[in-house]
Amino acid sequence: MRWATAALAAAITGKTVAGNECTQPAVRREWRVLAEQEKVDYIAAVKCLTTKPSKVGLATSLYEDFPWIHSQLNSNIHFVASFLPWHRWFVHLYESELRGQCNYRGTMPYWDWTQDSGALPSAPVFLESTTSGFGAGGLQNEFQSPTRPNPLTSCVTTGAFANLSLTYYTTTERTHCLNRSFNNGTGSSPTDDSWQAALYSPAMIANITDKSPSFEKFWVELENNPHGAIHNSIGGDMVPSTSPNDPLFFLHHSQVDRLWWIWQQKDPMTRNSDYSGNKYPYDDETPASLADTMTFGGLSTNITVADVMSTIRGGLCYGYA
Ligand SMILES: *[C@@H]1O[C@H](CO)[C@@H](O)[C@H](O)[C@H]1NC(C)=O
Ligand SMILES: *[C@@H]1O[C@H](CO)[C@@H](O)[C@H](O)[C@H]1NC(C)=O
Ligand SMILES: *[C@@H]1O[C@H](CO)[C@@H](O)[C@H](O)[C@H]1NC(C)=O
Ligand SMILES: *[C@@H]1O[C@H](CO)[C@@H](O)[C@H](O)[C@H]1NC(C)=O
Ligand SMILES: *[C@@H]1O[C@H](CO)[C@@H](O)[C@H](O)[C@H]1NC(C)=O
Ligand SMILES: [Cu+2]
């Protein structure tokens, strides 16, 4: 982490030089430490993506390419070893489009939800500011509208994304509002209470990052527990395979990537190439390898897992503060 601290003052953008060497990694920061203007700029850039044309041949916007592609590839990118590397590059692609298409000058923010465990809906990301907040959860008794196709839909009516209209729901078209309904769990197990707080508490995260000796152990714990709990506790659009419909998806996955980065920083020489597990879902026969190809359906060329094992090599040049 030494270099990240040293570079903090100087680097807003990562610099790469010939040979793809990253000399000055960009620093990704937590949402709540951003200045108000930085939040405004980030959210304006996200909204700008909804006005740019698709890169993958859809009739919808560049913004909607992300949920669509994620959903198309859903079964290849979850419950497999490439869960972390695939999502690392996916978040990087999103950040690159914000910067390249929408003049965003900052870095990808992350949302450290450990700070909100036990009080999820009060997290600052859910503030209702129309310029700097992602809005609160929606209401199920909200008015009927063309974008509310079923009574269980909780349209977000506050914050900067109050009027966001989304086209895709899993692999089908079903135009709908941004749907967000906090899920307090069923109460059937201790972790179901308080928005499954125990699954992403600081203690749980410390346990996962400190006590996972191998990539496989670390990834499985991270994907199944905190990662899944945040998707399920926010509910609505964060649940189906089109979860990148909710702009919070990217702050969530930036945090997931950060936890991997933290785990790697504990022993970079070993962990920047520690990769193992099942290549395909629910298949113990085929082991994953660093040479495996990952595909992004038109958002990017194919890359290998090895390309993204380090955040300061290949096409990547960032770290976290
Ligand atoms: C949503 O649309 C309504 C009606 O057009 C408008 O008054 C409001 O400012 C919009 N909200 C946002 C966050 O764009
Ligand atoms: C969620 O469950 C917890 C624990 O049972 C409870 O303290 C809290 O009040 C509940 N919150 C809501 C909004 O239902
Ligand atoms: C911490 O991790 C160890 C090893 O994975 C596990 O056995 C234990 O149950 C975990 N404790 C908590 C509180 O999650
Ligand atoms: C909104 O989310 C709820 C579950 O959280 C789901 O039952 C409902 O079908 C969703 N609505 C749409 C339009 O996706
Ligand atoms: C990219 O990867 C996909 C899936 O592995 C494969 O079908 C496709 O042929 C690859 N494309 C190129 C240009 O290699
Ligand atoms: Cu995903």
Rounded Cα gap, residues 248 and 75, in angstroms: 21
The predicted model scores a pTM of: 0.92
* Residue nearest to ligand 5 atom 7, measured at CA: 295
Q: Is 224 in the pocket of ligand 3 (CB under 6 A)?
A: no
3 state SS of 320 = strand
Q: What is the pLDDT of residue 18?
A: 54
Q: Is 191 in the pocket of ligand 2 (CB under 6 A)?
A: no
* Residue nearest to ligand 5 atom 14, measured at CA: 302
Rounded Cα gap, residues 256 and 288, in angstroms: 20
Give the domains, in start order, of the chain with CATH numbers. 5-320 (1.10.1280.10)
Q: Which of 3-17, 137-151, 243-257 has the lowest mean pLDDT?
A: 3-17
Banded pLDDT at 140 (limits 50, 70, 90): confident
Find the mean pLDDT for residues 255-259: 98
Q: Is 193 in the pocket of ligand 2 (CB under 6 A)?
A: yes
Tell me the ligand closest to 175's alpha carbon: 4
Find the mean pLDDT for residues 113-129: 96
- Between these two residues, 232 and 14, which has the higher pLDDT value? 232
The preferred substitution site among 69, 82, 289, 293 for testing ligand 5, maximizing ligand atoms within 8 Å of CB, is 293
Phi/psi at 121 (nearest 5 deg)? Answer: -65, -15
Q: What is the pLDDT of residue 9?
A: 35
Find the mean pLDDT for residues 48-57: 98
* Mean predicted lDDT score pLDDT of the chain: 91
Find the mean pLDDT for residues 48-69: 98
Residue 120 makes CB contacts below 8 A (sequence gap 6+) with: 113, 182, 194, 195, 197, 233, 234
- Between these two residues, 21 and 44, which has the higher pLDDT value? 44
Q: In ligand 4, which atom is closest to the CA atom of 183?
A: 5
